[in-house]
Chains A and B, each alone.
Chain A
C-alpha cells in the first residue's frame, strides 16, 4: 500500500500555512468594524465556509452526472467525498452565522431565504448520506447517490425562490431581518483583503480535504478487495 502522494503532502502543508495566515488576517490584520465590533470578524470564515459548502455540492452534482454517464467509480468517490465536506462546511456556515446574528439581529435564528436554503440544503445532503448508508450493493449505492445528488441540487434554487416570494408577499413582523438592511457594512480595503484571503484559504482547505478523502476511499476499497480475496481462498 503506497503512502500519501507527495503532491498531497505539500498541499497539506501549504494549506496549514495559509490557514495560519488567514487566521492572522481575520483576527489582527483586518480592522475592527466600527458598529458591530469584533463579532463582525465571524463574517470572513462564515462566508468562506458557505462558499465551500456550495462549491462542494456543485462538484458533487457534476461528479454524479459524470458517474451516471461513464460508470467510473472514481467519480462516485469524488461525489461522496465532496458531499461529506460540504455537509461539515455548511454546518460551520450555519453555526457561525447564528453566533453573529445573536448580537446583531438580536436573535439566533430567523426564517430568512438564505438561512432556510442553507438548512434545507444541509438536510438534503444528510438524507443523501443516509440513503447511501442503507444500501449494500456498491454499484447501486453509487447510482442512487448520483441520482439523489442531482435531484437535491436542482431543488435548492427552487427552495430559495419559494422562500423569497414568501417574504415579499408577507413581510416579517418582528423587525426587518434582511442582512442588507440590518448588520450590513462597507468593507475597507484591509477587510476586503482579509475576506478574499479567507475565501482562497477555504478553497485550499476544500481541495486538500477532498484529496485526502478520495485517497482514504481508495485505500478502504483496496482493503475491501484484499479481505474478499482472503475470504475466497
Chain B
C-alpha cells in the first residue's frame, strides 16, 4: 500500500517535470525565438574565432576544444537568459509556482528544457565544425564529456538565471554571476575534450572526468535544495 503510494508520488513528480519540459519545447516550436538565436550566435562566435585565431591546421589541434566550449558557454548564456526572462515577463513563473507540485520539479523541468536546447545547438555546431575544419569530433568519449559539461553548466545556470531575471540589471548580470562559478566545469571540459582530440591515454583524461562528475553531482544537489529559496515570495 505504502509502496504503491510512493510510486504514484514519484510518477506524479516525473509527470510534473515532463509537463514543464513539454511546455518549453511546445512554446519554442511555435515561437522559434530561442534556438534560432542561439544557433546563429554560436556560428558567429565560431566565425570570429576563425579570424581571431587563424584556425589553420597547426593551431587547430590545440585550440579546437577551447573554441567549442567558449561557443557553447556564450550561446548557453543567451539561451538561459531568454528562457527565464520569458517566464518572468509574461507572468508565467507565477502561474507555474501556483501549480500544486513540488517546486524542485519546476526547477528540474526548466533545467532539462535548457539542457535540451543547448544540446540541440551542440548537435548542430559539432558536426558543422568537423565539416568546416576537417577535424573528426564524433568520438563517443568526447560527446560524453560535452553532455557532462553542459549538464553542470545548465544546472547552475538555470538557478542563477532565475535569480538574475528578478534583478534590475538582469541582462548583464547572468554572465557575471555564472562564469566565475562554472570555471571548474569549463576547465575540466576543455581539458578532457582536448585529451580526446589529441588521443591521450585514458589515465590523463580520467581526472577531468572525475572533476566533471563531482561538480555535476554537487551542484545538482545544491541547486535542488536552493531553488525553493529563489522563487519563494
Which residues of A are in contact with B by a Cβ distance under 8 Å?
68, 120, 123-124, 127, 130-131, 133-136, 140, 143-144, 146-148, 150-152, 154-155, 158-159, 161-163, 165-166, 169
Closest B residue to A144 using CB positions? B163
B166 adjacent to chain A (CB < 8 Å):
yes
Segment from B102-110, B131-139, B183-191 that makes contact with A: B183-191
B181 adjacent to chain A (CB < 8 Å):
yes
Which residues of B, 49-108, contact A by the 8 Å Cβ criterion? Answer: none
Instruction: Flag if A134 contacts B173 (CB, 8 Å).
Output: yes
CB within 8 Å for A148 and B177 given contacts A143-B229, A158-B211: yes
B16 adjacent to chain A (CB < 8 Å):
no
CB within 8 Å for A130 and B176 given contacts A146-B229, A162-B187, A169-B191: yes
Q: Nearest-CB distance from B84 to chain A (Å)?
A: 14
Q: Which residues of A contact B181 (CB under 8 A)?
A: 124, 151-152, 155
CB within 8 Å for A131 and B177 given contacts A158-B214, A161-B211, A169-B191: yes
Consensus secondary structure, chain B interface: helix
Instruction: Flag if B168 contacts A147 (CB, 8 Å).
Output: no
Instruction: Flag if B211 contacts A162 (CB, 8 Å).
Output: yes
Which residues of B, 144-171, contact A by the 8 Å Cβ criterion? Answer: 156, 159-160, 163-164, 166-170
Closest B residue to A135 using CB positions? B167
Instruction: Flag if B230 contacts A147 (CB, 8 Å).
Output: yes
What's the Cα separation between A155 and B188 when bound, in Å?
13
B222 adjacent to chain A (CB < 8 Å):
yes
Instruction: Flag if A147 contacts B166 (CB, 8 Å).
Output: no
Instruction: Flag if A162 contacts B183 (CB, 8 Å).
Output: yes
Closest B residue to A143 using CB positions? B229
B232 adjacent to chain A (CB < 8 Å):
yes
Which are the 8 A-B pairs with shortest beta-carbon distances? A134-B167, A158-B184, A134-B169, A162-B187, A162-B184, A123-B180, A155-B181, A124-B180
Inter-chain pairs besides A120-B183, A136-B168, 14 sampled, C-beta below 8 Å: A127-B176, A131-B164, A134-B169, A147-B163, A147-B230, A151-B159, A151-B181, A151-B223, A152-B181, A154-B218, A155-B180, A155-B181, A165-B207, A165-B211
B215 adjacent to chain A (CB < 8 Å):
yes
Closest B residue to A165 using CB positions? B207
Q: Nearest-CB distance from B169 to chain A (Å)?
A: 4
CB within 8 Å for A169 and B222 given contacts A147-B229, A161-B211: no
Closest B residue to A163 using CB positions? B187
CB within 8 Å for A134 and B170 given contacts A124-B181, A162-B183: yes
What's the Cα separation between A133 and B177 when bound, in Å?
13
Interface string of B26-61 (1 = CB under 8 A from A): 000000000000000000000000000000000000
Q: Which residues of A contact B120 (CB under 8 A)?
A: none
Q: Which residues of A contact B13 (CB under 8 A)?
A: none
What's the Cα separation between A163 and B184 when bound, in Å?
8
Closest A residue to B228 using CB positions? A68
Of the candidates A123, A135, A136, A158, the one having the most CB atoms from chain B within 10 angstroms of its own CB is: A158
What's the Cα separation between A120 and B179 when bound, in Å?
10
Q: Nearest-CB distance from A184 to chain B (Å)?
A: 26
